[in-house]
Amino acid sequence: MTQVDETKLNELVGRVLGDLGGAVSVPLVRIGDTLGLYETLKRIGPATAEEVAGAAGCSPRYVREWLSAQAASGYVHHERGRFSLSPEQSFIFAEPDSPVNLIGAFDTAAAMVENQPKVQAAFKTGKGVAWGEQAGCMFCAVARLFRPGYINALVQEWLPALDGVTDKLKAGAAVADVGCGHGLSTILMAQAFPRSRFTGYDFHPASIAAATAHALAHGVTNVRFEVGRAQDFAGSGFDLITCFDCLHDMGDPKTAAAHIRKALKDDGTWMVVEPMAGDALEDNINPVGRLYYSASTMICVPTSLAQETGLALGAQAGEKRLTEVIRSGGFTHVRRAAQTPLNMVLEAT
């Protein structure tokens, strides 16, 4: 029998138990969000389980057990029979516009679990799982996951980090948001720069329908959405083209890069926002890399392999590989303009 190092074994068991605690928290967090339990606790806490249940219109017995689980996870605070949210807990669970609201991550994790049978089958065939065939509303979950980063950094930090772009946007520019999904990024830019014109493109019709509905709901008139692929979308003469967390999902990103170069004006800019990653696996053995490699296995690689050449860059492609792909399209200058713990922003001209 193989000799086991008891210390290392106990450390690993402790880590796995912690992981399991997080995994079984996924449905509980989603219940708390959907039923407004976090919002209620933020509003009336410190409160007893019965008070929270009454205010939220839920069964006290269920709410008491839910609150106990949340307290054991450290997601809510418990003291002398009363529960509350600390400012930090509220920032993560009860404030939608917080830069660290992570509810969307729990939604994405649930969709990944639901998607297991399809991806598991793809392991044997080597084929992909198309974006529109992902289990549940994967695209809804991903849109919610990325929302906090976009709403807190896109207009405030990322666009100003690009050379001369905000001046063009203020004066009035033509912008294409390729792979726009539900259109959050497109709408945020359109709201910030009313003199510019924005077109969002995505190959998933249901996402384009959702994006159009969102624009109407927000009363944004300088934006429109069209079904279109990154490698052959309609339109040209753009001052700025953006791709948010989608280049690595494309089946043929090199052809997309070439088409984007042609669709830009000579002095136009391509902004590529991608998951933060080092160039080697060793650089990504960390909590962020762990999340992204898992999501890449279940979402990004299957999505890419379902398309054209299926290059399957993966969510942790790294700046060097991404730069190679961008340059293959005819771009001569690529630089990292900005970064966050979760994203890198590349500028290509």
Q: What CATH number is given to the structural domain containing 132?
A: 3.40.50.150
Tell whether 329 and 202 lie within a shared domain.
yes
Q: What is the pLDDT of residue 146?
A: 86
- Assess whether 64 and 109 both reside in one domain: no
Supply the range of the domain harboring residue 56. 6-93
Residue pair 92/101 in contact by the 8 Å Cβ criterion: yes
222 and 329 share a domain? yes
What's the pLDDT score for residue 137? 73
Q: CB within 8 A of 88, min separation 6: which ones?
A: none
Whether 176 and 235 map to the same domain: the answer is yes
Q: What is the pLDDT of residues 270-324, one digit of tens each?
A: 999 999 999 999 999 999 999 999 999 999 999 999 998 888 999 999 999 999 9
Q: Could you tell me if 134 and 231 lie in one domain?
A: yes
Amino acid at 179: G
Q: Both 85 and 195 in a single domain?
A: no
Q: For residue 180, which of 165, 190, 195 has the smallest C-alpha distance?
A: 190
Residue 195, in any domain of the structure: yes
CB neighbours of residue 212 within 10 Å: 17
Q: What pLDDT sits at residue 138?
A: 77
Q: Is 81 helix (H, G, I), strand (E, B) or coil?
A: coil
pLDDT (tens digit, 0 to 9) for every residue of the chain, 349 residues total? Answer: 678 999 999 999 999 999 999 999 999 999 999 999 999 999 999 999 999 999 999 999 999 999 999 999 999 999 999 999 999 999 999 999 999 999 999 999 999 999 999 999 999 999 999 887 877 677 788 888 888 889 999 999 999 999 999 999 999 999 999 999 999 999 999 999 999 999 999 999 999 999 999 999 999 999 999 999 999 999 999 999 999 999 999 999 999 999 999 999 999 999 999 999 999 999 999 999 999 999 999 999 999 999 988 889 999 999 999 999 999 999 999 999 999 988 999 999 9
User: Do residue 74 and residue 217 come from a single domain?
Assistant: no
Which of 77, 96, 97 minimizes the C-alpha distance to 86? Answer: 77
Task: For residue 199, give the amino acid letter.
Answer: T
Residues 45 and 137 placed together within one structural domain of the fold: no
On whether the CB atoms of residues 136 and 116 are closer than 8 A, the answer is no
Phi, psi of 318 (to 5 degrees): 90, 155
Select from 93, 116, 147 the last residue of a domain. 93
CB 188 within 8 A of CB 214: no
Q: What is the CATH number of the domain that holds 29?
A: 1.10.10.10
In this prediction the pTM is: 0.90
Q: 87 and 186 share a domain?
A: no
| Residue 67 exposed, middle or buried by CB count within 10 Å (0-12, 13-18, 19+) | buried
Q: What pLDDT shows up at residue 202? A: 95
The one-letter amino acid at 51: E
The Cα–Cα gap between 52 and 50 comes to: 5
**Residue finishing a domain among 59, 93, 127:** 93
What is the model's pLDDT at position 142? 81
- Coil, strand or helix at 213: helix
- Same structural domain for residues 300 and 244? yes
> Total domain count for the chain?
2
Q: On the CB side of 13, how many CA atoms lie within 13 Å of its CA? A: 7
**Ramachandran area for residue 336 (φ above 0: left; ψ -120 to 50: alpha; else beta):** beta
Q: How many CB atoms lie within 10 A of CB 119?
A: 18
Which residue, 93, 124, 147, sits at the end of a domain? 93
- Does 1 reside within a domain? no
Closest Cα partner for 110 from 33, 52, 53? 33
Q: Nearest Cα to 297, choosing from 123, 147, 46, 72?
A: 123
pLDDT score at 1: 65
Kindly state whether residue 98 falls inside one of the protein's structural domains.
Answer: no
Return all residues near 230 (Cβ < 8 A) that are at least 6 apart: 178, 179, 201, 203, 243, 246, 250, 253, 256, 259, 260
